[in-house]
């Protein structure tokens, strides 16, 4: 059910857009104070509790699913580091039958790299490392996302409340048009800087039938303390031009808490995450070894003997390997030498026919 996956992706993108949201003075003075105070934020921690309900019908199939997300994290802005732990449970998705699915995701941003581990049922937890796309850090930052929302919204002061001992202004945010919601959501999905696609007014009206955001801003520092988001998204209305009948409204309710501003935070990669780069190197090296073995088999088919080493395979390989592979009389790689590139720090296991460290 590709539609369900797209719905969840869009929901998460929208929530990411507003996850950082969050005197008396006028509403505009409060907004200006919040924006000015952002330069004073060096570290902070945050919790997000979110419930997503999907109910409707698409292409004749009834769908009723629930997704619950609990997320906690920390930002060290001075050192450009972030950590997020997320627990997600899903129930009622057609792809998984009646089963309740529990998924854990642990993410670190360190320097210019993203480290992510997914704990998915029936799969071994695996760490992955990737380069951070341009603009990704800003889109993941609650601070920068908050600025975008405050600049886009109409803001009204709705009173004062105390949150966890902090006196706060309560702000009610309203976006004039669905187009503003669309722009904020697409900024999260379009990480490559591509132009946000244009959509019709009809599309926007059916996409965002309901939207409400409240924020609580500390009176003394203007730091955001809490935000509540209550909205309905319907990406499978007729305006989607997906040539599919039906409607799948998605109810989203989220509470965000931000705290421990400018307090020391410790963000350290687990040893398993540090090994993610090594796993990537091993994967490349073992892929090369597989190509070399295939080339050796082709050599044997033409010459009725196995090559002595990989220097005899130049006509069968697109490029020179990062090591010199030596073959036994059965065509197995029994040793390697002259290791360079991604094989330099690895060792060859002749019994398992694979690289290891």
Q: Which tens digits make up the pLDDT trace of 126-184?
A: 788 877 776 666 666 666 676 677 777 889 999 999 999 999 999 998 876 555 565 55
Residue 251, CB half-sphere, CA atoms under 13 Å: how many? 7
Is pLDDT of 43 > 80?
yes
**Spatial contact of 259 and 44, defined as CB atoms under 8 Å apart:** yes
Do 6 and 30 belong together in one domain?
A: yes
For residues 278-282, give the mean pLDDT: 78
Beta-strand ranges (E) seen in the chain are 43-58, 61-76, 81-91, 100-110, 113-119, 126-131, 154-163, 166-174, 210-218, 224-233, 246-247, 250-259, 324-327, 333-337, 347-349, 354-356
Same domain for 173 and 219, yes or no, is yes
Residues 145 and 18 in one domain: yes
- Whether residue 188 lies inside any domain: the answer is yes
Q: Is the same domain home to 241 and 150?
A: yes
Mean pLDDT on 98-113: 84
Mean pLDDT on 179-203: 52
Does residue 137 or residue 340 have the better pLDDT?
A: 340
Does the pLDDT at position 29 exceed 60? yes
> How many independent structural domains does the chain possess?
2
Ramachandran region of residue 92, left (φ > 0), alpha (ψ -120 to 50) or beta? left
pLDDT for res 305: 94
Cβ neighbour number for residue 96 with a 10 Å cutoff: 15
Inter-CA distances, 44 with 31, 78, 114, 158, 167, Å = 19, 11, 19, 25, 18
Q: Label residue 242 by pLDDT band (50, 70, 90).
A: very low
Residue 197 has pLDDT above 90, yes or no: no
* Alpha carbon distance 45, 28 (integer Å): 26
Q: 208-217, 288-297, 308-317: which has the minimum mean pLDDT?
A: 208-217
Q: Which of 230, 280, 277, 223 is nearest to 251 (CA)?
A: 230
The answer to whether position 270 is within a domain reads no
Q: What is the DSSP letter of 132?
A: P
Residue range 84-112: average pLDDT?
82
Closest Cα partner for 123 from 147, 105, 149?
Answer: 105
CB contact set of 195 (below 8 Å; sequence gap of 6+): none
- Check residues 225 and 135 and name the one with the higher pLDDT: 225
What value does the mean pLDDT take over residues 56-79? 83
Q: Which residue segment(s) compose the domain that 222 sits in?
A: 2-259
* Residues 297 and 239 reside in one and the same domain: no
User: Where is the domain boundary, 230, 259, 288?
Assistant: 259
More confident residue, 112 or 155: 155
How does residue 289 score in pLDDT terms, banded at 50, 70 and 90?
very high
Residues whose CB falls within 8 Å of the CB of residue 140, separated by 6 or more in sequence, listed in order: 16, 82, 109
Q: Where are the alpha helices (DSSP H) in the chain?
A: 2-18, 27-37, 136-140, 142-152, 178-189, 201-207, 271-274, 276-303
Question: What integer pLDDT is reported at residue 5 of this predicted model?
Answer: 52
Q: Say which residue, 236 or 291, is predicted with more confidence.
A: 291
- DSSP code at position 309: B
What is the phi-psi region of residue 262: left when phi exceeds 0, alpha when psi lies from -120 to 50, beta otherwise? Answer: left
Q: What is the mean pLDDT of residues 42-47?
A: 92
Instruction: Determine the pLDDT at residue 281.
Output: 81
CATH number for the domain including 35? 2.50.20
Whether 265 is covered by a domain: the verdict is: no
């Amino acid at each position: 059910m590709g539609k369900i996956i797209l719905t969840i992706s869009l929901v998460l993108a929208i929530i990411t857009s507003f996850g950082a949201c969050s005197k008396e003075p006028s509403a505009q003075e409060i907004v200006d104070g919040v924006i000015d105070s952002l330069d004073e934020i060096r570290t902070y921690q945050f919790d997000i509790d979110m419930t997503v309900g999907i109910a409707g019908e698409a292409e004749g199939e009834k769908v009723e699913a629930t997704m619950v997300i609990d997320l906690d994290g920390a930002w060290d802005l001075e050192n450009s580091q972030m950590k997020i732990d997320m627990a997600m449970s899903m129930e009622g998705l057609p792809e998984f039958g009646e089963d309740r699915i529990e998924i854990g995701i642990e993410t670190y941003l360190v320097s210019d790299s993203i480290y992510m581990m997914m704990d998915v049922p029936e799969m071994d937890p695996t760490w992955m490392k990737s380069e951070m796309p341009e603009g990704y850090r800003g889109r993941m930052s609650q601070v920068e996302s908050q600025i975008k929302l405050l600049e886009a919204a109409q803001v009204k002061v709705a009173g004062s409340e105390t949150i966890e001992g902090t006196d706060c202004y309560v702000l009610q945010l309203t976006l004039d048009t669905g187009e503003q919601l669309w722009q904020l959501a697409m900024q999260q999905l379009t990480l490559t800087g591509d132009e946000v696609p244009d959509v019709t007014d009809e599309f926007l009206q059916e996409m965002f039938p309901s939207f409400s955001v409240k924020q609580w801003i500390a009176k003394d520092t203007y730091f955001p303390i809490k935000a509540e988001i209550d909205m309905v998204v319907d990406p499978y209305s007729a305006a989607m031009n997906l040539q599919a009948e039906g409607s799948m409204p998605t109810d989203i309710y989220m509470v965000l808490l931000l705290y421990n501003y400018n307090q020391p935070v410790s963000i350290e990669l687990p040893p398993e995450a540090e090994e993610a780069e090594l796993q990537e190197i091993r994967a490349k090296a073992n892929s090369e070894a597989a190509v070399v073995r295939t080339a050796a088999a082709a050599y044997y088919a033409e010459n009725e003997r196995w090559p002595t080493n990989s220097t005899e395979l130049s006509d069968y390989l697109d490029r020179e390997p990062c090591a010199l592979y030596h073959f036994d009389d059965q065509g197995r790689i029994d040793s390697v030498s002259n290791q360079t590139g991604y094989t330099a720090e690895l060792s060859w296991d002749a019994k398992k026919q694979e690289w290891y460290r």
